[in-house]
Amino acid sequence: MRVISGKNKGVSLKAVPGDSTRPTTDKVKESIFNMIGPYFEGGTVLDLYGGAGGLGIEALSRGVEKAVFVDRDFKAIQSIRANIAACGLKSRTEVYKNDARRALQALVKREKQFTFIFLDPPYAKQQIPEELSFISNNDLLEENGKIIAEHDVRVSLDDTYETLVKVREEKYGDTVISIYMHGKGEKEDE
């Protein structure tokens, strides 16, 4: 696992010990950033199921200004912090050990909004439809922001959740990437 592009290109990232996380492959990560970027001039990212922090760190490396990482697993939090330090990104990050639902509620109380929100939960425990509705109902996504949901191919997500509309979906083996924006956005060419 490594940073693919940007200021931290080539930096190796430590995986979370054990099998509690399923890291996004470099191929899928590269595809995600080709769909949403590939580079950015500022903005904020929420990596809600941080794992080792690969998606959020990649976004920072490509120009996003700040990132919030959340994971409920202590080993994942340790990996995120180590990877942030290896990339010299500590001043641009916040890291929280919390479950996704509580973290989202805390971010609402802080009146946070994000340019990008990564939802990459463990496949067996995903609640992406509920999380998309919560994000929409609580205005956690900036007006032109994007939610990037990574899920198992056997999981079918609706085209809309509250004000969110699926603008793109791509399959990579057993993995599907679904991208959502506010309803004003036009569906992208597939």
Whole-number pLDDT of residue 18: 82
Which residue(s) pair with 71 in the sheet?
97
15-40 mean pLDDT: 88
What local confidence, expressed as pLDDT, does residue 184 receive? 60
Give the model's pLDDT for residue 170: 96
Quote the pTM value. 0.94
Closest by CA to 177, choosing from 24, 19, 5, is 24
How many C-beta neighbours within 10 Å does residue 169 have?
A: 16
Residue 49 lies in a domain: yes
Residue 12 maps to a domain = no
Q: Residue 140 domain-assigned?
A: yes
Judged against a pLDDT cut of 60, whether residue 19 lies above it is answered with yes
Give the model's pLDDT for residue 91.
98
Is 90 exceeded by the pLDDT of residue 106? Answer: yes
Greater pLDDT, 23 or 76: 76
- Whether 13 is in a domain gets the answer no
Write the pLDDT tens digit of every residue in 115-161: 999 999 987 678 999 999 999 999 999 999 999 999 999 999 999 99
Is 150 part of any domain?
yes
Contacts of 80 (CB under 8 A, 6+ apart): 50, 51, 52, 53, 69, 71, 95
Chain centroid offset of residue 12 CA: 19
Residue 187 has pLDDT above 70, yes or no: no
pLDDT band at 25 (very low <50, low <70, confident <90, very high): confident
Q: Are 116 and 60 in contact (CB under 8 A)?
A: no
Q: Is residue 35 part of a domain?
A: yes
How many structural domains is the chain composed of?
1
DSSP conformation letters of 41-53: SS-EEEETT-TTS
Residue 85 in any domain: the answer is yes
In contact, 116 and 164? CB cutoff 8 Å: no
pLDDT exceeds 50 at position 189:
no
Whole-angstrom CA distances from 139 to 53, 99, 107, 132, 174 are: 24, 19, 10, 11, 31
Is 126 within a domain? yes
Which domain range does residue 137 map to?
26-182
The CATH number assigned to the domain holding 138 equals: 3.40.50.150
